[in-house]
Structure 1
C-alpha cells in the first residue's frame, strides 16, 4: 500500500505542475535516472568498467559509430582491455586483444549466441531457415553442405572462369570500356561490387545462372546488401523505401534460384561436381533425415553469395586503392606474374590456381589488406547465461552483449609494428602455418583451429569462422593478377580514402577512384 500511495502522490504532484514544469520533468527525468543508474553500476565490482555517457538509451552510439577503433583505443587507455559501453539501450562488454579473441570465439554455445545477436538483421536478407534463422546444429551442417563446392579441385576450375568474367567486365559498357579507351577513371565502389558478384556467380553457380546476372539482377543484390546497415541492426523492419527494396530483392533473387532448382530437378540434370547449386541439391539432407526445402536452398545460396560479397568487394576495393599509391608494389607483382608466365611459356590465360598459391607478392598484399581493413570492425555475441571472464572477478550478465574486434587488434601498434602503414612485405618472412601442437575442433563442417589467440584473425574464429577463406584468396588473387597484368593505375587524389564507418562493413569513403592506363601487355 505504501508504494501505491507513493505513486499516487507522485502523480498528483506531477499533474499539479504547470505545462512548462511538466515538460521540464519529462525531459530532465531520463537524464537524472541515467546518471544515477551509471553511478550505482560503477559501484559493482563484478562488472566491467562502464564508459560514461550523457544521452540516455543512445549511450556511446555516436563516438562508436563514427570511429570504432579510436573509440576502443580511447576506452582501453582509460579502462584497460575489458570495458562496457551502452549502445542504443544495450550493454556491450568489449574484450580487446588476443585474450579477448580466445574468450569470445571459444565460448560455449550455451554461453554465447551469434544467432541471437544477428538473427533480426540477417533473416530478412538471407531468408528463413538458414544461417542464423535455424538451430546452430543446422547451421553447422549447412556449412558442411556448402564446403562440397569449396574444394581444391573446384578452385582449380574457378580461376579461368573468374578471369574470363573480369576480362569481359573490362571490355563491357558497364565496366572500363577498354575496347574504346586506353585510359580512364573509375570508382572502385562501383567496379568491385559488380566484379565480385559476377565472378562469384560464374564460378559458384555456373554459366547458365551467371547469364541471369544482368545489371538489374546485380542491382537486386545491391538492394539486398543495403539491408546490412546500423539502422537495420536496430530496427529490422520499418515502412521505408530501402526496406521495401530489400524485401523485393530477396523475393526476386530467391524466386530465380527456386525456378532454376525446379528446372534441374525436373530434367534430372544434376552433377554435384558442376557447381554449388547441384552440390546443394545432392548434399542437403541433415543427419536426422530432414531435407532442406528448395526455398531454404535458395536462401542458403543468397547467404553464401552475400557473405563473400562483403569480404571480396571491400578487400579488392581497398587493395586497388593502396596499390594506386604504391607503383613499386604494382611493379613487383607484375614481375612475379611475368616470371611465372615465362617459366610456363604461356599467356595470362595459362595462370593457374597453383600459380596463384605460389605468388607471394599477391598473397602478401591480400594479407596486408585484410589486416588493415577487416570487413567487419566488430563481432558480437549475445550472452545466454551469466559469464565469468577468466582470471577476473568480472561477470557479464545474461542478456548483455559481448564485442570482439580483431580489426582493432590488427591495426594496433601493440601487436603490429607501424600498424597504420600499408606494407605487404612485413609478411615476407612470417610463418603462418598452424603450429604442430595447435588443437583442432570439428563443429560439424570440418576441422578448424581451436586456437584463436593470434592477433591476426581476418576471417574470425571458432564455430562461426568464415568457410570461404580459401575461395576469397582464389577470387582476390585472380582479380589482382588480372588488373596488374593489364593496367597501371594511380589514385585519383592525393591519398587513400579514410574508412567509412557509417556502414557495418569497413568501406572506403567516396569518392574512391583510380586512374588506369593500359600496359603494353594488356589483352583487352
Structure 2
C-alpha cells in the first residue's frame, strides 16, 4: 500500500479530480485529522457528515480514508472484493504488531491460504467440541474460584471489579479451550502473570496498530517477548486437550523450515489476542447491562432455566451444569442482550484498500472516484447509534433483537430495509472467523453467572461509560471499572 507524503497531499488538493468526495485535511502536515479522530471517532465523523454529506475523504497520518456513512451503501462496498481489499491492510499491520515475518507467497508458499483455511475449524461442526470444551473450562474456573468452600457456600455477598472479573474468567477459559492444559494439572500455574502482561500489551495495542515504533513504547517490546515465549513449540507440545484449530496451525508451521520457533510462537500469541481482546470487554458490557436492568436479568435467567428444563435438567447449584450448542442457540433473549450490548459498545472500523483507480458505484444515482492506495472505510457505530434505525439508540433494550419469538432482522433506513444493521465483527468475506465461538463463550459465561449467583451493582457509583481511545479497533473498554456484588443463589 502506498503511503502518500505531505508532498503528495499538497498535489492531491491542487489536482483533486472530478467525482472525488470532499476532502477534509488537517493543519498539521502528514498527521491530518488523526488526533481528532482518535479522541472521539463517532463525534468526529458525525460532525463531518453534517457538513460534507454521506461520503467524504479524511487525511490521517499520511493516508486518505474515504468514509461511507450511509448504511444503505454498505453492500456496494462489501461486494467490491477485487478492487477493495481488506487483507492488504492486516497483512502489513499484524506482523508489525505481533512480531512475526509477513506471510508472503515468495517466502512461505501457500501458507497464507492454509492459515485462512484453518479458521474453518472455529465454525460449523467443529464449533461443537470447542463449545463443549469451553463449557467444561468455565465450570472448572467457577468451581475452583467462585463456588468453592467459605463465603460462596454460605451465600455471603462478595465484592469484585466487574471488568477484572470478566477478563480473568474469559482469558483463562479461552486459553485452556484453545491451547490446552499443562502436563499433570488442570490449570497453568503462571496464568495470572501471563494475563497481567497481556493487559499491559493490550493497553499499547492501539499505538502498535497505528504503527508507532515499539521502541517508543517503554517496556512493551520486552512484555511482548515474554508473552511470545510462552508459546514456544517445545512448551506447547507438552500441553494436552489442545483444540483442533491450534493443533492444525502448529502442524502447518512445522512444514516451513524458514519459520523460526519464535515466529511460530508469535503467530500463536496473535490468536490469543484475537480470542480475548474483544471477547472479554464484550462479556463485560453484556454482564453490566443485564445487572443494571434487573427485569432484563430476570427474563434471561428464566429463559436459561426453561431451556434446561426442556432438556429434562433440573438445575441444582451442587451439580455442574452443561449447556450444549443446540441449547445455547435457543436462548433468544440472551442473544438479543449480547447483540444489544455489542451495538452500544462496538466501534470497529471496516477498512478496504483500493487496488486500482476506479469508479465506485454506490447506488443507482451515485458513484465516486477512488484512487489506488486510498482506504475506503465503513464505521458501523454511526449506524448502531442512528435513532432512525434504533429508537432511543443510547438505551439498552433486552428485546431489541427479538420479534414474534424469532430473531429480529428487519431494520430500516429511509424506508428501506438494511442488509447490514449490526456489524461488530466486520463484514463480507473478512468477518471475524471466530465470531460464533466468541458469542457462545459469552452466552456460556453469562448462563453460569445467572444460574449460580445473585448479582447486584454496588450503590453510589456512576453509570459505566466507554473509553473512546480504542475507537476503530473493536469493542470499547469501560472508562473505569464497576464494582458489583455476588452470592450463591439459594
Q: Per the shorter chain, which TM-score range?
A: 0.7 to 0.9
Give CA deviations for 1:127-151 in whole Å, capped at 9, x if unaligned.
Answer: 4257799989744431322433552
Structure 1 counterpart SS, 2:403? coil
1:207 paired with 2:173, answer no
Structure 2 partner of 1:419: 393
Q: Is the 8 A contact 2:66 2:376 kept in 1?
A: yes
Is 2:334 aligned against 1:362? Answer: yes
The structure with more helix, counted as a fraction of residues: 1
Equivalent in the alignment of 2:322: 351
Q: What is the aligned counterpart of 1:160 among 132, 136, 147?
A: 136
CA contact (8 A) 1:83 1:93 kept: yes
- Residue in structure 2 matched with residue 107 of structure 1 by the alignment: 80
User: 2:109, 2:203 → 1: CA distance?
Assistant: 26
Report the Cα offset of residue 472 of structure 1.
0.9
Could you tell me whether the CA contact under 8 Å between 1:170 and 1:177 is conserved in 2?
no
Among residues 123, 133, 146, which one is paired with 2:95 in the alignment?
A: 123
**How many angstroms does 1:397 deviate by?**
1.2
Q: Which residue of 2 aligns with 1:298?
A: 265
CA-to-aligned-CA distance 1:189-214 (integer Å, 9 cap, x gap): 32222222101012222232742552
Q: Please tell me whether the aligned partners of residues 363 and 477 of structure 1 are also in contact (alpha carbons under 8 angstroms).
A: yes
| Displacement after TM superposition at 1:79 (Å) | 1.6
Give SS of 2:170's match.
helix
Asked whether the equivalents of residues 106 and 462 of structure 1 are also in contact (C-alpha less than 8 Å), the reply is yes
Q: How many residues align?
A: 461
1:470 aligns with 2:436: yes
Cα separation, 1, equivalents of 2:345 and 2:463: 12
Is residue 46–residue 395 contact of structure 1 (8 Å, CA) maintained in 2?
A: yes
Mapped pair 1:479 → 2:445: yes
CA shift in 2, pair 1:276/1:39, >3 Å: closer
The structure number with the bigger radius of gyration is 1
Does residue 1:223 correspond to 2:218, yes or no?
no
User: Which residue matches 1:337?
Assistant: 304
Is contact 1:205-1:276 (8 Å) kept? no
1:499 paired to 2:466: yes
Contact map agreement 2:349 2:474 (CA 8 A) in 1: no
TM-score scaled by length of structure 2: 0.81
What displacement does 1:276 show?
3.8
Q: Closer, same or farther in 2 for the Cα pair 1:34/1:470, shift >3 Å?
A: closer
Q: Measure how far apart 1:324 and its partner are.
A: 2.9
Q: CA RMSD in A?
A: 3.8
1:466 Cα deviation from its structure 2 partner: 0.8
Q: Distance in 2 between matches of 1:148 and 1:36?
A: 48
Instruction: Give the one of 260, 272, 279 matched to 1:312.
Output: 279
**Structure 1 position 401 matched with structure 2 position 375:** yes
Spell out, residue by residue over 1:370-390, the C-alpha distance to the aligned partner (whole angstroms, 9 max, x if none).
Answer: 12222x432223323213220
Please list every run of 5 or more consecutive structure 2 residues that lacks an aligned counterpart in the other structure: 411-417
